Amino acid sequence: MIEQYLIEKLNNSELQDVVYTQQPEEKPERFYTLEKTGGGFYNQISECTVIVKSNAPTLYESGLMNDALKRAFFDLVKYPEVSRVYLNSDYNDTDPTTQQNRYAAVFVVTYYEGS
């Protein structure tokens, strides 16, 4: 499952905060959540779209986390399973209900099946 692969690699990168598949019950002050929102497959090469949200106490901290996340994501191409990482968009995604400060980044990752 590509989500687990990406989370494992990101959690073993230089990111200072942990990446989860969903918000943990006991939320740390700062954390990321990664969700796969789409994907495709052609000639043994797969592609997926993922959204990663950077959650922090302030919007400024969330923005800094988002910048660190982008660098870590682009570094994923050093692994043979990942052939391309494309940043589709990133934006302020503060939750209007809870006022949780966060940024969201949308990535398209091309990878070899079996990852």
Give the confidence band of 115 by pLDDT, cuts at 50, 70, 90: very low
Q: Give the mean pLDDT of 86-94.
A: 96
On the 0-12 / 13-18 / 19+ scale of CB atoms within 10 A, 100 is: middle
Residue 50: what are its φ and ψ, rounded to 5°? -130, 150
pLDDT digits (tens, 9 = 90+) for 16-39: 999 999 988 888 999 999 999 999
Number of folded domains in the chain?
1
Q: What is the DSSP string of 89-101?
A: EEEE---TTT--E
Q: Is the pLDDT of residue 58 over 50?
A: yes
Residue ranges making up the domain that contains 92: 2-112
Instruction: Note the pTM of the prediction, 2 decimals.
Output: 0.91
Question: In sequence order, which residues have a C-beta less than 8 Å from that of residue 87 and are 6 or more positions away?
Answer: 70, 73, 74, 105, 106, 107
* Residue 94 belongs to domain with CATH number: 3.30.2000.10
The Cα–Cα gap between 34 and 42 comes to 24
